[in-house]
């Protein structure tokens, strides 16, 4: 099917959707409200399915080289001392998880848009109500205007937790690299992953009543001072406390020619470690549905049928470990 698509938002989901749709016959135009040069902070750990999906748009290798592999997870409950570990791989997917700076991931995606001659207007914002294509893809994040245009009343709600992140250019000497460490405690969880090239990445997430900026920034560091991460704490560049929001994956995701992907449709707390991976999966599943269906409306129906149950299971606390996952076959364009 040949179609003209407009994508609102050139974040991780929107850029992947543009690249994937161009591969299946779409003539795509992207609109991004932020300037191209805007500083993008932080990093993401992408799941194995993200690598499979990025391979489909020719970027897997570059993203893996920009980041580093996270091969396993080690958890300690500091109240009981109980420790567990498991692989950060998934059946059928060739690669383990990847840890990558968000700015590097976005730069690679946006560079590829340019190489593929997919126009992206930066710094202008897109108005989802003024459209010219056959398909409008709302990849405009958790506070999506496209979602409101669809008449979906969902809005993000505060998760009850805030987070601080830190980075130090050297890894912690006493902890293995490429392993995601979690230390849970009565107020939240602290985490760390290190790499010989890229250094130490840590976070501390804890309960906070209101998500207010008045929360004492130092309380976040206490949980890390009780771990080996203390070695790099004072030398780290540290973020301010960030309030965490989530968006229930309910309400209308599409009509006959408009569809939501990524955080615009379903935003999980970073505690799930799935948001960016889900946005990338959405992009590929949407493009695949467009390739297979004989109308845009049928493709959007099929995309929602596949993606909504996965988003619902990922969103519901307690069900994440059993959450249905997209199969590698679903991610072959
Ligand atoms: C602190 C934190 C840590 C996280 N860590 C992880 C992690 O480790 N692993 C993981 O998988 N996920 C993580 N996530 C979640 C992940 O970042 C999101 O799920 C992911 O970025 C969603 O991508 P997206 O493209 O759907 O939305 P976004 O990344 O929000 O991108 C939306 C884009 O749309 C643009 N936009 C908005 N409105 C308009 C408009 N009207 N016109 C044009 N452009 C518009 C925005 O500027 C933005 O560029 C984390 C989230 C947070 C907050």
**Does ligand 1 have an atom closer than 6 angstroms to the CB of 273?**
yes
pTM of the model: 0.96
**Does ligand 1 have an atom closer than 6 angstroms to the CB of 45?**
yes
Ligand 1 center from residue 137 Cα (angstroms): 15
Ligand 1 center from residue 227 Cα (angstroms): 30
- Nearest CA among 90, 40, 88, 83 for reference residue 68: 88
Ligand 1 center from residue 103 Cα (angstroms): 12
- Are 4 and 26 contacting, i.e. CB atoms less than 8 angstroms apart? yes
**Does ligand 1 have an atom closer than 6 angstroms to the CB of 141?**
yes
Residue ID of nearest Cα to ligand 1 atom 29: 11
**Does ligand 1 have an atom closer than 6 angstroms to the CB of 262?**
yes
Torsion of CA 146, 147, 148, 151, to 10 degrees: 120
pLDDT score at 269: 85
pLDDT score at 317: 61
- In sequence order, what DSSP letters do the residues of 155-217 get, joined into one string? --EEEEEEEEEEEESS--TTS-TTEEEEEEETTEEEEEEEETTTEEEEEEEEE-SS--TTS-T
**Does ligand 1 have an atom closer than 6 angstroms to the CB of 275?**
yes
C-alpha to C-alpha distance for 54 and 250, rounded to whole angstroms: 27
* Residues contacting 320, CB < 8 A, separation 6+: 272, 274, 313, 314
φ/ψ of 313, rounded to 5, equals: -70, -35
pLDDT score at 139: 98
Q: Which residues pair with 85 in a beta bridge?
A: 74
Per-residue pLDDT of the chain (333 residues; tens, 9 = 90+): 899 999 999 999 999 999 999 999 999 999 999 998 767 789 999 999 999 999 999 999 999 999 999 999 999 999 999 999 999 988 899 999 999 999 999 999 999 999 999 999 999 876 777 788 999 999 999 999 999 999 999 999 999 999 999 999 999 999 999 999 999 999 999 999 999 999 999 999 999 987 666 677 889 999 999 999 999 999 999 999 999 999 999 999 999 999 999 999 999 988 788 899 999 999 999 999 999 999 999 999 999 999 999 999 888 766 555 667 788 999 999
Atom of ligand 1 nearest to the CA of 262: 26
Ligand 1 center from residue 19 Cα (angstroms): 17
C-alpha to C-alpha distance for 136 and 150, rounded to whole angstroms: 11
**Does ligand 1 have an atom closer than 6 angstroms to the CB of 279?**
yes
- Are 282 and 310 contacting, i.e. CB atoms less than 8 angstroms apart? no
**Does ligand 1 have an atom closer than 6 angstroms to the CB of 67?**
no
Atom of ligand 1 nearest to the CA of 140: 34
Ligand 1 center from residue 276 Cα (angstroms): 7
Residue ID of nearest Cα to ligand 1 atom 1: 270
pLDDT score at 58: 96
Substitution candidate for ligand 1 out of 141, 211, 281 with most atoms within 8 A of CB: 141
**Does ligand 1 have an atom closer than 6 angstroms to the CB of 7?**
no
Q: What is the DSSP letter of 284?
A: H
What domains appear along the chain, each with residue ranges and CATH number?
3-44+98-155+248-331 (3.50.50.60), 158-245 (3.30.9)
pLDDT score at 149: 95
φ/ψ of 277, rounded to 5, equals: -60, -45
Substitution candidate for ligand 1 out of 125, 162, 202, 263 with most atoms within 8 A of CB: 263
Ligand 1 center from residue 60 Cα (angstroms): 19
Q: How far is CA 231 from the centre of its chain?
A: 29
Atom of ligand 1 nearest to the CA of 165: 1
Atom of ligand 1 nearest to the CA of 245: 53
C-alpha to C-alpha distance for 284 and 221, rounded to whole angstroms: 39
pLDDT score at 323: 63
C-alpha to C-alpha distance for 279 and 302, rounded to whole angstroms: 17
pLDDT score at 125: 77
**Does ligand 1 have an atom closer than 6 angstroms to the CB of 242?**
yes
């Amino acid at each position: 099917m040949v179609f003209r698509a407009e994508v609102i938002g050139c974040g991780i989901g929107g850029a992947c959707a543009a690249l994937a749709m161009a591969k299946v016959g779409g003539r795509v135009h992207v609109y991004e409200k932020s300037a191209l040069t805007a500083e993008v902070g932080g990093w993401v750990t992408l799941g194995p399915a993200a690598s499979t999906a990025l391979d489909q748009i020719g970027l897997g290798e570059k993203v893996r080289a920009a980041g580093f592999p996270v091969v396993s997870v080690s958890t300690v409950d500091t109240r009981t001392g109980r420790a567990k570990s498991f692989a950060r791989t998934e059946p059928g997917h060739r690669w383990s998880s990847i840890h990558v700076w968000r700015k590097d991931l976005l730069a690679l995606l946006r560079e590829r848009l340019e190489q593929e001659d997919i126009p992206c207007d930066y710094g202008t914002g897109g108005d989802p109500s003024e459209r010219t294509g056959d398909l409008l893809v709302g990849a405009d994040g958790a506070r999506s205007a496209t979602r409101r245009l669809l008449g979906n009343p969902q809005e993000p709600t505060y998760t009850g937790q805030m987070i601080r992140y830190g980075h130090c250019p050297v890894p912690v000497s006493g902890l293995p690299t490429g392993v995601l460490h979690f230390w849970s405690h009565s107020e939240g969880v602290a985490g760390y992953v290190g790499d010989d090239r890229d250094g130490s990445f840590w976070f501390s997430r804890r309960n906070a009543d209101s998500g207010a900026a008045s929360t004492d920034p130092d309380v976040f560091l206490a949980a890390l001072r009780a771990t080996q991460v203390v070695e790099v704490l004072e030398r780290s560049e540290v973020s301010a406390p960030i309030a965490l929001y989530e968006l229930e994956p309910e309400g209308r995701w599409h009509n006959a020619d408009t569809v939501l992907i990524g955080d615009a449709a379903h935003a999980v707390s970073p505690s799930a470690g799935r948001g960016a991976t889900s946005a990338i999966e959405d992009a590929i599943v949407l493009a695949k549905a467009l390739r297979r269906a004989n109308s845009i409306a049928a493709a959007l129906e099929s995309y929602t049928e596949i993606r909504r149950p996965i988003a619902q299971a990922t969103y519901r606390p307690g069900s994440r470990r059993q959450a249905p996952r997209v199969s590698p076959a679903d991610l072959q364009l």
